[in-house]
Structure formats: C-alpha cells, structure tokens
Chains A and B, each alone.
Chain A
Amino acid sequence: MALKERVERLTQTKAWYGELPVESLYTAGIAGERFFRTLKDNGEFSGTKCKCCGIVYVPGRIFCERCFAPLEEWLTVASYGTLESWTVVYVGLDGSRLAEPIIVGLIRLDGASTVLVHRLGEVTPDTLSIGMKFTAVLKPKTKREGAITDILYFKPV
C-alpha cells in the first residue's frame, strides 16, 4: 500500500480538500421552549417531575425516558446545587493549547435528579472538591437570549 505520508506535496499524488457542508436550524422543542423561556424571563431553572419514577428532569422534558409517562407537572428547582465532578481543560477543539485553561463541572441543582454540565468560575482548581456547593451566575436579563449560554458559569456558594 502506498504511504501518503511520504508524499510531501499534494501535487505529487492526487488528493484534495473537501468538506461535508452541514448547516442546521434547531428548535428547543416543546419542553425546551418552556425551559429556556423561563430561564430568560425569570432567571429560573424549570423542570418536570415523573409521578411514577419520582425523577425530576432539569431541563424539563415532555416524557419520562424510563417509564414513558407524559410529564405535565412543571416545577422550579434551585439555581444552586452540588458539584458531582470537575476537570480543568487545557486544549481546544483542534488540539491546540488554550490561552487560559477552563474549568468544567457537573452540577446537580437542588431539587433536580438530573445533572447539568457547565463552566465553573470565580474558583481555582486547587480549591475544588466534589460535593462543594455552586450557584449559577446568569447574564443580566437584558442580555439573555434563551440559550444555555445565558448561564455564564457556576461559582462557589
């Protein structure tokens, strides 16, 4: 088999760059629409509770993935919760070093059964430990657009 690594210029072998162009328009869905509107307008985290399983899904969903019950009971959970795990990320999507490492954590909001992934801020890695309490820092209301990035990061309580 020919080894392309030995070819120093693309003109020496027949090769070219191409792409798989994909551009998408997404909807948040029936449940997502409500979750993001509540976050944008009220700065609150809303979820749905399955009466059969007792699970509280945040963001809310219209169905329970475990028992398939339709979920109609919406509730608001706390905007603070528990750190379930964390990491410090030093490389970006293309493998290059980030100018500033970022801290990423998993937060289980008080009252929720499910866990959110987001950035952590106002904290240094040497002070982090699983089980710590974190609270959401949101964009000011006028800047919020109904997106997960309306949450800037979570900071220690």
Chain B
Amino acid sequence: MGRRVAIVGVGMTKFVRRAQETGQELAYHAAKMALDSCGLHLGQVDGVVLGSAPDSFDGVHMKGEYLSPGAGAWGKPYMRCFVGGATGVFSVINGWYYVASGLFDTCLVVCEEKMSSFQPHAQAAFLTIFDHTTERPLKPNLLWIFALEMNRYMSTYGLRKEDIALVAVKNKNNALDHPCAQIADKVTVEEILKSEVLAWPVQRLDVSPVSDGATAVVLANETVARRVTDKPVWIEGVGWALDTAYWTNRDLCYPRYVEEAARMAYKMAGVTDPRHQIHVAEPYDPFDYKELHHMEGLLLCGKGEAPQLTVDGVTRRDGELPVCPSGGLLGVGNPISAAGLMKVAELFWQLRGEAGKRQIARKAKRGIAQAWGDLMQVGAVVVVGI
C-alpha cells in the first residue's frame, strides 16, 4: 500500500462568523502554525495540497490559485482538491497519496473557507448546485435534502427529536473546551426543540453555523516523521466513495457511500471489527442527525442504533466510544473544508494525548474521521493510529 505516511504537525485558526483576514491570510496562519508545530520550514515542504469548497463562498473564481500564496505553494507542485463538504478529509487523502507513492517526502495540506463573503447568506450559494432543469426552478436549498433525510431517518426507526437533539447538546458542550470554537454553548434539549423551524424537522439549533477559518496538517514519510517527532500519527487507511448525483434516488436513511468509503479504509488499515478497533470517532456533523447517520455508515454500530448509544452516554468524552470530542461542526463551527480537516486535527491531538481539557477518558490508539459532501452523496474517510 505504498510508503507509510504520518501526520506530524497541525495548525488551526479560530473559527469565527466574520474574519477581517483575507482567505490568504487565514490560510497562512494555519499553514505556518502547522509547520512551526513540527519544526519544519517551508523549504522542507515538497508539495502542497489545498482544499476549499465552492469558489462562490470566498467570492473568488479559481480560489485555489488565489489562496496559493497563503498555502505556501510558491514554486512548488500544488494541487487543489474539491469534493464539496467532504473536501477537508479528502484533502488528507489527496496529500497521502503523494507521499505514499514516494513522489514527495513531505506534503503540506491546507484547507480554508471564508463563507462570510457570500451575501446575503452562504446558503444561497447552493441554489446553483442543483439540476438546472428539474430542480432549480423550484428554488431548492440544501435544507431540503437534510430535512427529507432526517424525516426519513426518524420515521424508519421511530426516533424522537429529543434523542437526536442530544447530539447537538453533547457537541456544543464539548466545544466549550476548544480554543478555536465559534459557538460553543451550553444548550439544552428544550432550547433546541424550541428553536426556529427551518425546514421540518430541522430546527435552527440542529444546524452548524457558517464560519470563516483555516486548518492545516503536515504529512511526512516515515524517515522524516521519525526525525521530526516522537509521536507520529500514522494514516492507516483511506477511503472515499460516491453515490448517485440524483440525490432523490439515494437511500435517504442510510449513507451507503460512507459505508463503502469506510470499508475501503478499514481494509487498508486491517480493521475487521470497527466497533472495538476504533477508539475515537470524528464523523461529519453539520446537523445533529448526521452524526448518527454517519456513525452507522462507519459501521460503529448497527443501523438505527446510534441514537441509543448517544442516549446511553457511550459517545461522550468519558464514554466507551467518544464521538466528536472536538465539539464538531455543531460546536466548533463549519468553515466547510477547514471543519473537515479540523476533525483529522482532533484525532492527532487525541491520539497524542494533547487534547487538553478535551482529552477523552479512555485510552485511544486508533481513530476515524469522516466528511460528507458534493450533492450530499460523497463520503471521505481516514483512519489514523499510533
């Protein structure tokens, strides 16, 4: 499976509602922090991968080219990757294969999003991702997909909104301990159930916010990794898969594309029993029900079982299988690609025992991060271990 690849450094800006910094400046801060964290300088970076979601968020066409100075790409091989919301985790996969192939010894992976640029609200950027013939005339937005999925999920398993809201309570509470968090908050199930309905059954507090921010990681081959750190976090498996672009034809209640991506990553990592061999998980949680959906897709529990694990406290930081100990997108914020990469960063800190107040109670040697995107039918998965 190619050469071993480790994550050796991580950097992350605060996630905020509206940053004064330009996208380039945000990218620079994260990239510089990541390099400093492992004592490497830009001259020691062989190639750069940039992840960023639609150009329209930042309001810059060909955003990859625009962001390149901040990503450290000057004079280097540079690639932008983009699979919508899954970009943050996919960018690590992208960087992984440059190092695993032997092409590069080191690769800097930078993800940036400045969603506050889009006026009046980033949500409107999504109108034009829908089919221009059969869907756009109906003026759809992404909430339609989420609401239709959530309703289907709830109806299939007879779930109550109260149970699903526990995910938002857990994650927003976890984020209180994240120094980069945007909306960490103590919220209660009652407050979530009383919040404004956006598209039934999705309510305001079921949703992550729009954010500005950047995250970066440094990848290295084994030789470099052993030289720069005592605690490399190895990329043990990667996987990604796509379901149909006709989103209405998907199984709305089960993310099969996540399962396929996970199976690919597990096979590479030699994981045969995810429920016991994965010790900490960072599934993509732009909505509370999506954490549950994705836990099931990642085979961390059976179909329809994730809500009960949440009710039982299994997914809390002091639980047997901590899920989104970072605070997730719901708590830390959701600058799309940067939020996905933040999940990988969290695993890095958790496995190294450097997560501070967020450190999970159980001993963890292996974790999984996952993100979800495009027209909500792509899954990207990375398994990391020490």
Residues of A that sit less than 8 Å from B by CB: 18, 20-33, 61-63, 65-68, 70
Contacts and interface: CB of A to CB of B under 8 A. Distances in A.
Contact of B42 (A24, A30, A67): A67
Contact of B136 (A18, A29, A30): A18
Contacts, number: 68
A35 to B, nearest CB: 12
Contacts of B43: 67
A71 to B, nearest CB: 10
Interface in B114-170: 116-120, 124-125, 127-128, 132, 136
Contacts of A21: 124, 127-128
A22 B59 CA distance: 7
Contact of B28 (A24, A32, A68): A68
A68 B42 contact: yes
B59 A30 contact: no
B74 A66 contact: yes
Contacts of A27: 19-22
A24 B127 CA distance: 16
A70 B32 contact: yes
Binding site of B, secondary structure by majority: helix, strand, loop or mixed? helix
A63 B32 contact: yes
Interface residues of B, number: 32
Contacts of B58: 24
B118 A22 contact: yes
Contacts of B75: 66
Contacts of A66: 42, 74-75
Contacts of A32: 22
Contacts of A20: 56, 128
Nearest to B20: A27
Contact of B41 (A18, A24, A62, A68): A68
A22 B125 contact: yes
B209 interface: no
B118 A68 contact: no
Contacts of A23: 118-120
A26 B28 contact: no
Given A28-B22, A67-B42, 17 more contacts: A21-B127, A22-B59, A22-B125, A23-B118, A23-B120, A29-B22, A30-B25, A33-B20, A63-B25, A63-B28, A65-B72, A65-B74, A66-B74, A68-B32, A68-B42, A68-B72, A70-B32
